[in-house]
Structure 1
Amino acid sequence: MRMLINQLLSTKGREVYTVTPDDSLASVAALLYTRKVGAFVVTDRAGAVVGIVSERDIVRAIATTGGQSLGQPVSQVMTREVFSAGPGETIDALLGHMTDRRIRHLPVMEGGRLIGIVSIGDLVKAKIAASEHEAQTLKAYISAG
């Protein structure tokens, strides 16, 4: 069974937390902690995706320039080249893309509009659930003989 990202979003939810390029790293770090997420999509005033900022980006900034980097705007550290997923893509395809590109979060876009976000953890969890379901189905089929 090939699970599509749209199906995953129906289960997981479509809520996406965003920040602006002008937000400080300190405020974003606090939001990452309170929202219990690993990354935010960065959008401009019109709602267009202009980047993504993760815990890793903030740690890298602190490691290279020290604590004063927390006063910097997100635009200084965010990843500007954002890879995104479409709702019709499969979990298997996205796991491959994320592994190849060494990224952990993908915004989901439809018609140029942000409709969700998935993490590599979301995809692995869905893959495991699908495998368990398939195993249970096969066991039931074999037992029914």
Structure 2
Amino acid sequence: MSVRRLLSGKGSFVPVIRSNLRLSDVIDQLQIDEAGALVVTDDDTTILGIVTERDIARGLKRYGRDVVDRPLKELMTKEVVSVDIDEPVSTVLELMDRHQIHYVPVTDGGSLCGIINMLDLVRYRLSETETEANALKAYVSGSA
């Protein structure tokens, strides 16, 4: 299955935030979007960074309570691992494993067009397993 197909079932909403904001704005936006990560972009297509709950935890350790007033640019991950929309889903799994990350932005022609998280992959795999099980049941019962 391709990333494109996975996104077509999931939807293309990408939680984003502008780079000139503070961490307090990030926390508000994460709650509004019910997300665990925000892609940092100023034009909705160019990925400048990503900020995750893990980045917030690191900021808390480094700056203490004052972290909420820190500029986002100081806390976001700037080197973002992304995947092209036409790659197979297995590539996303490999990237998540290799880089120990839970969120992978998706690009199409270099422009941001989606995001995949670990829960999306779990849902995909459960659906795939259910489809396989139903096919086997149909085969065994002779209705295939």
TM-score class, shorter-chain normalisation, is over 0.9
Gaps of 5+ in 2: none
How far apart in 1 are the matches of 2:43 and 2:115? 19
Aligned counterparts, 1:1-145, within 5 A:
3-45=1-43, 47-144=45-142
Give the 3 Å change call, closer, same or farther, for CA 46–108 of structure 1 in structure 2: closer
Gaps of 5+ in 1: none
Moved beyond 3 Å, runs of 4+: none
In the TM superposition, what whole-angstrom CA distance separates every residue of 1:15-36 from its partner, at most 9, and x where no partner exists? 1121122111011111112211
Deviates further, 101-110 or 36-45 = 36-45
Return the TM-score normalized by structure 1.
0.92
C-alpha contact (below 8 Å) 2:44/2:112 kept by paired residues: no
Return the TM-score normalized by structure 2.
0.93
C-alpha contact (below 8 Å) 2:15/2:39 kept by paired residues: yes
C-alpha contact (below 8 Å) 2:12/2:114 kept by paired residues: yes
How far apart in 1 are the matches of 2:9 and 2:44? 28
How far apart in 2 are the matches of 1:96 and 1:45? 29
Q: Percent identity?
A: 37
How far apart in 2 are the matches of 1:101 and 1:137? 35
C-alpha contact (below 8 Å) 1:91/1:127 kept by paired residues: no
